[in-house]
Amino acid sequence: MPNIKEVASKAGVSVATVSRVLSNKPNVRPEVRERIQQIIQDLGYRPSRIAGNMRNQSSNVVALMISDIRNPFFTAMARAIEDVANNQDMSIFLCNTDENLEKEQIYLKTLLEERVAGIILSPTRENGTAFEFLIESAIPLVTIDRRITGLDVDSVLSDNVQAAYLLTQHLIQRGYERIGAIIGLKESTTGRERGQGFQLALEDHGLKPDPRFHTYVYPQESEAELIVDEWLQSDERPDAIITGNSRLTIGVLNSIQKRGLVIPQDIALAGFDETPWMRHAASGITVISQPTYEMGKTAADLLFKRIVDPQRPSREVILKGTLIERGSTAAKLKR
């Protein structure tokens, strides 16, 4: 469907001028008004019901609040949300929380003051108490990637337990038994659920989890590198490592390469999130590819439905990732 920007471009005017014509407001020259109306008819453009509903009560901006746009997982997600928003004649305001609860609260209160049309949020924590003021404000809200417990809101999630189970089982089936896991924050549902999937797979295959090699960290390269440096100095170091996202994978790779170890001959590696470089690093990194674009699109669709119909029942959508096997988890050589 054509959007208001295409109409404005074809007419050689601003989006604001097209908006004035659609709202039948004055201060548009008759010949310009006629040209815009003809282009609208030729293109078959229909004004967004969502944007129309919001025009008189809030801005035509929706907010996306995530932990870190440098994480490719969120980059693909943000692209999908922007694509859906543009088709609804809406714009996106992006906020990075850096997993900081105070920063998140400041952003949320600012967004309410700016009267954004709705918010898609990857919350820093799952405790609903911190977000009750959003519910009281009645602002349309969708959580993505993580839950908020105790609040009745739309949410779009990955099946984290199943995905971590698949990765762990894959390594076990290839002969690895001393498996380390370096995952995101335990305070988030994502990190905790992936930890659950990891431990469940070990237990189901008769392996005892080793607490020395299972840790939750702030999800960035330097954190992973420091921890894995310690692991690799151990006399009983892991023979395989699972990571919770692509940034943690980079940190693990840095540590392995510093010690001159070879993947997978010396140590296997598997992680979350497909990125373009994963197939080229080491022997190609085995990953769980999450449906990030679909997650973003689904979240945006839910938000705009919520804007149109605030009383509709809330939905929780859970999408499954796909295991992509590569050389970093080749069958363990018997020594």
Nearest to 84 by CA among 303, 318, 267: 303
Q: Which fold has domain 59-158+292-320?
A: Rossmann fold (3.40.50)
Instruction: Measure the CA–CA gap between 184 and 248, rounded to whole angstroms.
Output: 8
pTM across the whole model: 0.79
Instruction: Measure the CA–CA gap between 50 and 306, rounded to whole angstroms.
Output: 10
In b/e form, how buried is each residue of 175-191, taking b as 16+ CB within 10 angstroms? ebbebbbbbbbeebbbb
Token pair 């009645």 is found at 138
pLDDT in tens, 294-311: 999 999 999 999 998 888
CB 228 within 8 A of CB 182: yes
pLDDT tier for residue 52 given thresholds of 50, 70 and 90: low
Q: Tell which phi-psi region holds residue 12, choosing left (phi > 0), alpha (psi between -120 and 50) or beta.
A: left
Report pLDDT for 138: 86
Comparing 20 with 217, which gets the higher pLDDT? 217
Strands 154-158 and 214-216: unpaired
pLDDT in tens, 19-51: 778 877 777 899 999 999 999 988 888 776 555
Report pLDDT for 97: 94
CATH dotted code for 160-290+323-329: 3.40.50.2300
Q: Which two tokens stand for residue 62?
A: 């929706």
CB 123 within 8 A of CB 148: yes
Q: Do domains 59-158+292-320 and 160-290+323-329 have the same CATH topology?
A: yes
CATH dotted code for 4-47: 1.10.260.40
The percent of residues in the chain predicted with pLDDT above 70, rounded, is 96
Residue 56 has pLDDT above 80, yes or no: no
Domain ranges of the chain: 4-47, 59-158+292-320, 160-290+323-329
Strands 322-324 and 286-289: antiparallel
Nearest to 108 by CA among 95, 99, 117: 95
In b/e form, how buried is each residue of 14-26, taking b as 16+ CB within 10 angstroms? eeebbbbbbeeee
pLDDT tier for residue 151 given thresholds of 50, 70 and 90: confident
Report pLDDT for 311: 86
Comparing 272 with 52, which gets the higher pLDDT? 272
Phi, psi at residue 46, to the nearest 5°? -125, 125
Report pLDDT for 4: 80
pLDDT in tens, 238-247: 999 999 999 9
Other beta carbons less than 10 A from residue 162's beta carbon: 15
